[in-house]
């Protein structure tokens, strides 16, 4: 299953004044493709993800999902910037949450959740509450929760944004590994160019507000990838290409002229 | 704070804990002595030992336990009758803007009214038996619980509702997994306020319209000019307040394990 956006726009009204967040966003994503969206901050990346997730309605254009829909399976799951774990649920209950909402029996959902908790190395923390975990651990729980729910489309909203540089690297590799074993369509929003290149089949570069897609850049790095993939000779040119597109947009969004 | 200074935190903390008790003992001793040397009028301020004696006598005769039981029963009945519907309505008002807009004007009008003022009306409608008293208490416990549970829902991080929607939760699942646990701390605060109000209004009702309960015991003390009985009643009521507060603290720890280490 894949989906396509046709001229999607979103306008918010704040204090009586209209604010165009997105304008004419069109692109298509194939099944099992990993796509990253990079853009300057405030360009509407999160708004775009929320539209794909069905949490927001676009004010223009439409989102078309194609392919067969499996019943009893989530169309999409979103991993939030700030993890979005339930403070009153243990790690196990949080990871199993999606399955619980789908009505999967407790023993089955807990068995599946345990499998993923082990994969992200948190088996010892199964009974812990989110406030007892570090920020990096919480984000791992959030990622495990999304994969356990097994949605058709996985949406990642800057999942590593709040992490320190080293934790970030570890989690990037973890995502690559999990995704290798559980292939699915992923749309990943980030402002980290290297991260986008490392993880994706394709990078979509967005402009500043109102956000629109400037260019789609295929990433031809062979898979399976790991952090060493970034040492390949073609990476430099790719980074440069993305940065050249972004530079002017970032300057504008900072209010710098020229 | 004191632990950061170098002058021995342990003894200092113990001292801080013992100080209130020491002050209380000192105060009672001074009082007792003052009455003994006729510095303090015993009619208005009977000696602590006299009050303690009245407490013991009243316990032996079964009078005090009977009054205590009557008061406790009214407090409990008023709480159940007031807080349970208040919790439901409060959750609904917090969750749905439509329900809120319907009930908000009503709440704004009725909430500030002193609840004891409706007792005579309730006695006209419901008779002078137990029912009118319990309903008066219930109306008083209703509002703190209502406002707290409504605020409890409204302070929920909107992202959690997004999580629920995004993972396909039904309304029932959202209620059980998000709304109830997220508003539980505020609802317990509401319960704390309601218990205090319940005790307060129960005593007030008993002062004016009952032959049983701690309030009526105090009134009896006034009518017969036995001030030690008056004091005994006040001591028991104060102890009740403290006990409720301690029990609730325990309950909070048990019910909200995810907030303990804050």
Q: What is the pLDDT of residues A80-89, one digit of tens each?
A: 888 789 999 9
Q: What percent of chain B stands above pLDDT 90?
A: 76
pLDDT per residue over B204-243, tens digit each? Answer: 999 998 899 999 999 999 999 899 999 999 999 999 999 9
Q: Please tell me whether the interface predicted TM-score (ipTM) of this complex is above 0.90.
A: no
What's the pLDDT score for residue A120?
86
Which chain B residues are closer than 8 Å to A154 by Cβ?
Answer: none
Residue carrying structure tokens 């791992």: A140
| Contact call for A129 and B173, based on CB within 8 A | no
In this structure, the strands spanning A34-38 and A213-218 are: unpaired
> Does B177 touch chain A if contact means CB atoms closer than 8 Å?
yes
What's the pLDDT score for residue A257?
61
In this structure, the strands spanning A34-38 and A2-14 are: unpaired
> Does B181 touch chain A if contact means CB atoms closer than 8 Å?
yes
Tokens matching residue A86: 């339930």
Q: Which of A239, A253, A240, A241 is nearest to A207 (CA)?
A: A253
pLDDT of B100 strictly over 60? yes
Instruction: Report which of residues A246 and B15 the model is more confident about.
Output: A246
| Contact call for B162 and A84, based on CB within 8 A | yes
Candidate from A77, A89, A101 with C-beta closest to B173 = A101
What's the pLDDT score for residue B6?
47
> Does B260 touch chain A if contact means CB atoms closer than 8 Å?
no
In the A/B pair of chains, how many CB contacts fall below 8 A? 59
> Does B223 touch chain A if contact means CB atoms closer than 8 Å?
no
| Contact call for A86 and B181, based on CB within 8 A | yes
User: pTM, whole model, 2 decimals?
Assistant: 0.82
- Mutant choice from A57, A70, A84 vs B, greatest count of B C-beta within 10 A: A84
Which chain B residues are closer than 8 Å to A94 by Cβ?
Answer: none
pLDDT of B3 strictly over 80? no
Candidate from A50, A89, A101 with C-beta closest to B168 = A101
| Contact call for A86 and B177, based on CB within 8 A | yes
How many beta carbons lie within 10 A of that of residue B75, not counting itself? 25
Candidate from A54, A77, A84 with C-beta closest to B160 = A84
């Amino acid at each position: 299953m894949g989906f396509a956006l046709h001229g999607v726009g979103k306008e918010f009204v704040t204090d009586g004044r209209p604010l165009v967040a997105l304008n004419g966003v069109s692109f298509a994503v194939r099944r099992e493709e990993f796509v990253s969206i990079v853009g300057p901050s405030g360009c509407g990346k999160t708004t775009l993800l929320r539209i794909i997730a069905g949490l927001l309605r676009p004010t223009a254009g439409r989102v078309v999902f194609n392919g067969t829909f499996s019943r009893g399976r989530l169309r999409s799951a979103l991993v939030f910037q700030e993890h979005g774990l339930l403070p009153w649920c243990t790690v196990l209950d949080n990871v199993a949450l999606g399955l619980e909402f789908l009505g999967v029996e407790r023993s089955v959902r807990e068995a599946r959740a345990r499998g993923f908790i082990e994969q992200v190395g948190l088996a010892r923390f199964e009974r812990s509450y989110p406030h007892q975990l570090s920020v990096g651990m919480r984000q791992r729980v959030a990622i495990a929760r999304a994969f356990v729910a097994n949605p058709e489309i996985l949406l990642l909203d800057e999942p590593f944004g709040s992490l320190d540089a080293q934790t970030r690297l570890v989690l990037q590799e973890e995502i690559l590994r999990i995704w290798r074993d559980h292939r699915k369509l992923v749309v990943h929003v980030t402002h980290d160019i290297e991260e986008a290149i490392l993880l994706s089949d394709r990078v979509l570069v967005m402009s500043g507000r109102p956000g629109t897609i400037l260019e789609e850049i295929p990433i031809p790095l062979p898979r399976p990838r790991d952090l060493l993939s970034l040492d390949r000779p073609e990476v430099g040119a790719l980074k440069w290409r993305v940065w050249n597109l972004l530079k002017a947009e970032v300057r504008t969004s900072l209010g710098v002229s020229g | 704070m004191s632990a950061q200074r170098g002058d021995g935190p342990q003894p200092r903390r113990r001292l801080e804990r013992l100080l209130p008790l020491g002050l209380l003992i000192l105060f009672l001793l001074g009082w007792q002595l003052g009455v003994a040397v006729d510095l303090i009028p015993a009619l208005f301020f009977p000696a602590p030992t006299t009050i303690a004696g009245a407490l013991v006598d009243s316990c032996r005769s079964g009078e005090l336990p009977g009054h205590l039981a009557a008061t406790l029963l009214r407090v409990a009945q008023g709480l159940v009758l007031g807080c349970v519907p208040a919790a439901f309505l409060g959750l609904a008002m917090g969750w749905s803007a439509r329900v809120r807009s319907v009930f908000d004007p009503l709440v704004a009008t009725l909430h500030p009214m002193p609840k004891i003022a409706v007792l005579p009306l309730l006695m006209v409608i419901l008779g002078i038996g137990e029912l009118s008293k319990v309903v008066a208490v219930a109306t008083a416990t209703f509002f703190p619980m209502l406002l707290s549970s409504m605020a409890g829902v409204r302070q929920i991080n909107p992202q959690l509702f997004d999580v629920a929607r995004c993972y396909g939760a039904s309304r029932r699942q959202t209620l059980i997994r998000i709304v109830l646990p997220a508003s539980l701390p505020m609802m317990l605060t509401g319960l704390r306020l309601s218990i205090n109000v319940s005790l307060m209004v129960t005593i007030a009702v008993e002062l004016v319209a009952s032959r049983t309960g701690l309030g009526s015991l105090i009134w009896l003390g006034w009518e017969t000019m036995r001030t030690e009985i008056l004091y005994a009643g006040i001591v028991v009521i104060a102890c009740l307040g403290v006990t409720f507060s301690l029990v609730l603290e325990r309950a909070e720890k048990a019910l909200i394990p995810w907030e303990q280490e804050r």
